[in-house]
Amino acid sequence: MSAVTEVITKIKATNDQLHSFREVFEQPEEGNGVGLLQGLPIAIKDNICTKEGHTTAGSQILKNYQAPYEATVISRVKDAGAVIVGKTNLDEFAMGSSGEYSSFEQPRNPWDVTRIPGGSSAGSAVAVAGNQVPLALGTDTGGSIRQPAAMCGVVGVKPTYGRVSRFGAIAYGSSLDQVGPFAKTVKDAARLLQVIAGPDARDATTSPQPVPDYLAACGQDIVGLKIGVPIEFFGDGIDPDIAKVVRQALDDLKEQGAELKEISLPLTSAAVAVYFLIAKAEGSSNLARYDGLRYGTSPVEDADLLQHYLQTRGTLLGPEVKRTLLMGAYALAAGHIDAWYKQASQVRTLIRRQYEQAFQHLDVIAGPTSPEVAWKFGAKADDPLAMYLADALTVPMSVAGLPALSLPCGFSQDLPVGLQLTATHFAEDKLFQLAHAYEQSHDWHQQIPPNASQ
């Protein structure tokens, strides 16, 4: 247990500055499992239910919530020997791209504490980047693992829709959400996905497809692997310096034997609208259950039922969650549903087909994870559209249900830049193969942020 005690001491020494953890488990349950994660400390995004501690989803409405059951991914990491050391901060209900929408403390980027860490799995990315823990779990609906991984300089994976059980993960967009790993290295991310992937009788959307050996994929050579490079991923709205760093990474992969092929995915620019219309519609429906009656909390005393609902939700939900409820209800309302929700769903089919066609001739599609590096706190505070557009390069894969991985590939303005790799459904092994080959020929993963734990 001494390794774990050491980790908890490290977390406590740095958490006042980084605010990555919302809750630290002082005396974590000793791992009783034997497996791939033997003795490894792991941090859990606070929208994944654990029996230990609280599960708040970053929201005041669940401030006191103690889940009566644990998520399947939690049982699996415990069975593999991991030790859960705490719950990490996030944008409220995983809605946000900066971490600033947490209703608790503001998680900070360990590379520059005046900047956002990205979101929504902000605390999980910071905990790994800041050397507090070697592993963390996050959730990714439209980029919530990949984007903070890119901004904090760590590896983050959004698995294929259906690869990992969501049982016990608090729902945002049910046709999009996936749980996935954060780690310092590609191999550690592969190890964690290996443990959590696979069918679960408690989540009917999990796939029975066999789980490949992800660890074996790390170390296979990449000669002849075909990488598609969409021109749209380097176009308008992408910081030219990020484009340069990512182009260099792609040239390095070519040097290692991969084949680069320029392609076009013309519907890329439609993905932000499609994603947010669908995610907000699903989110508005999923969040109907938070009423402060059966669990959670409510400031309302002795009001009738309607007043109780109105006041509890009006008082305890934050700005982006309120926007979700309004936009989602609007897009689904009679008179609006055809023009907004249904049209978005039809364009979603077209985006999927575009990727299916592209993957007939390609192994992987590559580009930047984020159009910009971590921005200063408050820079997009009153501009939700700008915040949404920051997800432009991660939402297309979410809409198509594809697996995608972000790994560090250099720096711009002394801040980390992420390379995003996407494969066809259930081909996470290809992502690990390529990412590991790139990682091992560079030293980005050994760079330590100035505000990391020593």
Write each residue from 104 to 133 as x if it is in contact with other proteins (CB under 8 A), else as -, in one continuous string: ------------------------------
User: Is position 311 an interface residue for other proteins (rule: CB under 8 A)?
Assistant: yes
Residue pair 88/79 in contact (Cβ under 8 Å)? The answer is no
User: Is position 381 an interface residue for other proteins (rule: CB under 8 A)?
Assistant: no
User: Is position 411 an interface residue for other proteins (rule: CB under 8 A)?
Assistant: no
Q: Contacts with other proteins in 248-307 (CB under 8 A)?
A: 267, 269-270, 272-274, 276-277, 284, 288, 291-298, 303-306
Q: Which stretch binds other proteins (CB under 8 A): 17-25, 85-93, 200-208, 372-380?
A: 200-208
> CB of residue 277 vs other proteins: minimum separation in angstroms?
6
User: Is position 310 an interface residue for other proteins (rule: CB under 8 A)?
Assistant: yes
User: Is position 343 an interface residue for other proteins (rule: CB under 8 A)?
Assistant: yes
> CB of residue 161 vs other proteins: minimum separation in angstroms?
5
User: Is position 334 an interface residue for other proteins (rule: CB under 8 A)?
Assistant: no
User: Is position 340 an interface residue for other proteins (rule: CB under 8 A)?
Assistant: yes
Q: Which is nearer to other proteins, 1 or 333 (CB)?
A: 333
Residue pair 43/90 in contact (Cβ under 8 Å)? The answer is no
Binding residue for other proteins, selected from 12, 342, 413, 447, defined by CB under 8 A: 342
User: Is position 246 an interface residue for other proteins (rule: CB under 8 A)?
Assistant: no
User: Is position 347 an interface residue for other proteins (rule: CB under 8 A)?
Assistant: yes
Q: Which is nearer to other proteins, 327 or 365 (CB)?
A: 327
CA dist 225 → 220, 254, 361, 423 (Å): 11, 9, 11, 12
Q: What is the β-pairing status of strands 83-88 and 178-183?
A: unpaired
Q: Which stretch binds other proteins (CB under 8 A): 135-143, 170-178, 257-265, 428-436?
A: 170-178
Task: Calculate helix-pair angle for 240-255, 428-440, nearest 10 degrees.
Answer: 90
Number of residues that bind other proteins (CB under 8 A): 73
Q: Which is nearer to other proteins, 309 or 438 (CB)?
A: 309
Task: Calculate helix-pair angle for 2-18, 122-129, nearest 10 degrees.
Answer: 120
Q: Contacts with other proteins in 16-55 (CB under 8 A)?
A: 51
Write out the two tokens for 117: 């860490």
Catalytic residues, which ones? 45, 120, 144
